[in-house]
Structures are given as C-alpha cells and as structure tokens.
Structure 1
C-alpha cells in the first residue's frame, strides 16, 4: 500500500496486473481504462480503446486483473493523490531483464523516455486539461 501522487495530463504508458488493485482517491482525478483483449499480438495497444472516467475524491475503486490503466490525470493545478493497494511485490524493482518479447515491456521505472523501454502505445495521445482555479 502506498501513495501515488504527482502531475499527469496524458496517457504516456499503460499497465495491467495479474491481480486486483485498489485505488482510493484523495483528490478528484480522471483515469483511463482499457481491456487487455484489445492488445495486438505484438503487445502494441491503440489508445482509441482507452476510456476516461472522472473519479471524485474519496472514491474506492477496484481494478480487476488485466485491465489496462495509466497513472491518474489531475484536473486541477495541485496534482492528483491516490492511495494504491496492491498484492505484495507488485511494482517492485526487477532483478533481471531476460530480453525476451514478454519481458521487454517490464520496467520498474514508468517515466517516458527510459532507455531501452518498449514503446507499445499507438494512436492519439489522449490528454486531460485542468480546470483553472483562483487561489487567494
């Protein structure tokens, strides 16, 4: 269990797990989901299959196994905050890279531009634009 927080406005990666994952939102956000069955044989995924949902603050959201999802997108200027609950050892650093076709999609660091990372998204980069707020 841990925090996932930051600033994100677009789909630049997707992931899925073989077990359920629980998100508890501490801020309003938008999350995008897709079905693994729409993944192409070469592990490429078209963003046209992703669907975005507004998730209000305080929502507990169970994501079923093999549902593709990306980092939440914030809709405000102060970012997103969610609690993520996973099965133990999920998203821990990998000890080895074997280089086979399946393993080329596995990275512990999800930031775009990781050297040697497999770029498996195609289609439009879907973005969420934040609403403006006046702070006093």
Structure 2
C-alpha cells in the first residue's frame, strides 16, 4: 500500500497540519507521551484522559485552542498495530500528535454506501498517511479513522484529543430511535464504528461493514 505524507495535497480533504502552533505547546505533549505512555508489545492501549497530559501546564491553553472553550480531554493511544480492523468517526474533529512517527488509515464518510445497519465501505478506498513525530494534526469529523499504525518496530505513542466524554460508555438510546440514522453504528459515546469481519470488534457485536481486505501495512513499513 502506498503511504502518503500529510504534507501531500491529497491529505487536505482528510485533515490539516497545525504547523504554526509554537513548540512550547507541542513539545511537552510529545515528551509526556514518550515518558509516560505505556506501549504494549502486542496490540494497542487507549486512555481517553491521561493524567500525564491533563496535568501539563500548557493543557488548558492547548484545549482552548483546539476546541474553543468546549470541555475537552487529552488522552493517548499507544502500542503496535499494522491492521485496519475498523473505521470510526465522531461528531467533532480529533487532534493527534505522536512521540514518534505513526501512520493513519483514512477514508471519508461520503464514501460509505447505505446508512446505519446497511452501511458498507470498500477497503480499497482507504488511504494511508504518515505523520512525523511532534507534528500536530487535525482529523476532520467526516474522516473515518481508527487506531494508528506503527511506522517502525518501536510502535507508536499518539495524542488523542477530543471533546470531553468521547469514547465513554455507550449511551442508552430511546428504543424508538435505536434503528434511526446511524444509531446502529454507535459503539460508545460519540463513537460510530464500522468493523471488518476479521476484527475483534466484529466478534464483540460491532456492525460489520468494511468490505474487502483487512488492510495490513506490515510489508509497506518493513
């Protein structure tokens, strides 16, 4: 699979690079990730709100910049991963920054066919983008994404900044609305998920809608 750069023109529809944020606000995040994000040797680990990030002196200012005063959470995802497995989206942009390089597998909501329980997406439409260490990026709300992939054997340690409560416990919907809109894809608070049949999320009951190969970029980063 071709791995593109976030500086390529092709990334502009998926997100944007926040290159003008002073290093005084991004370097402490990268340092905290490198020092405190525990990176499992197999699989990934996610923490929605990580104390080592939330307690940074720059955290309030950074949240204010990214979410304009809306309550927000600074968490991380870390580990080893080369597979697509699922794609998800939120109602808000997500912000990422890595302690080391990482790769995102992305698609767009507009590429999904059908809705709710009929939603499908051909995995041949998914594109891969490499994010250099220490670079802050925004992933647009209508961009489908999931756990980052590693760019090397060291794995990845990545900031996941989102509105407060995102990825929290699955809310209970009114029974009359349980099949409406994209409700059948709701997997956690503000988290709508489309799974590949080979994923553990599919085995746990997530909507299976990724059609085609469960992309594995292991050979592309070797």
| 1:107 aligned counterpart, secondary structure | strand
Q: Is 1:14 aligned to 2:90, yes or no? A: no
Q: Is 1:122 aligned to 2:195, yes or no? A: no
Looking at structure 1, the residues matched to 213 and 202 of structure 2 have their Cα atoms a distance apart, in angstroms, of 18
Tell me the residue number matched to 2:133.
57
The Cα shift of 1:84 comes to 0.8
Which one of the candidate residues 16, 19, 24 is aligned to 2:97? Answer: 24
Deviations 1:73-118 (A, max 9, x none): 0122231110111011211111326552633222239853442221
| 2:82 aligned counterpart, secondary structure | coil
Structure whose alpha-carbon radius of gyration is higher: 2
Looking at structure 1, the residues matched to 85 and 186 of structure 2 have their Cα atoms a distance apart, in angstroms, of 15
Q: Is 1:81 aligned to 2:157, yes or no? A: yes
Deviations 1:43-81 (A, max 9, x none): 111111111011111111101111111211012223111
Which one of the candidate residues 112, 116, 120 is aligned to 2:201? Answer: 112
Listed as ranges, the gaps of 5+ residues in structure 1 are: none
| 2:97 aligned counterpart, secondary structure | strand
Larger fraction in helix: 2
Runs of 4+ in 1 over 4 A off after TM superposition: none
TM-score of the superposed pair, with normalisation by structure 1: 0.85
Which one of the candidate residues 152, 155, 170 is aligned to 1:94? Answer: 170
| 8 A contact 2:202–2:208 mirrored in 1 | no
TM-score of the superposed pair, with normalisation by structure 2: 0.54
Listed as ranges, the gaps of 5+ residues in structure 2 are: 1-73, 194-199
Looking at structure 2, the residues matched to 82 and 38 of structure 1 have their Cα atoms a distance apart, in angstroms, of 26
Give the count of matched residue pairs: 132
RMSD: 2.1
Looking at structure 2, the residues matched to 81 and 106 of structure 1 have their Cα atoms a distance apart, in angstroms, of 26
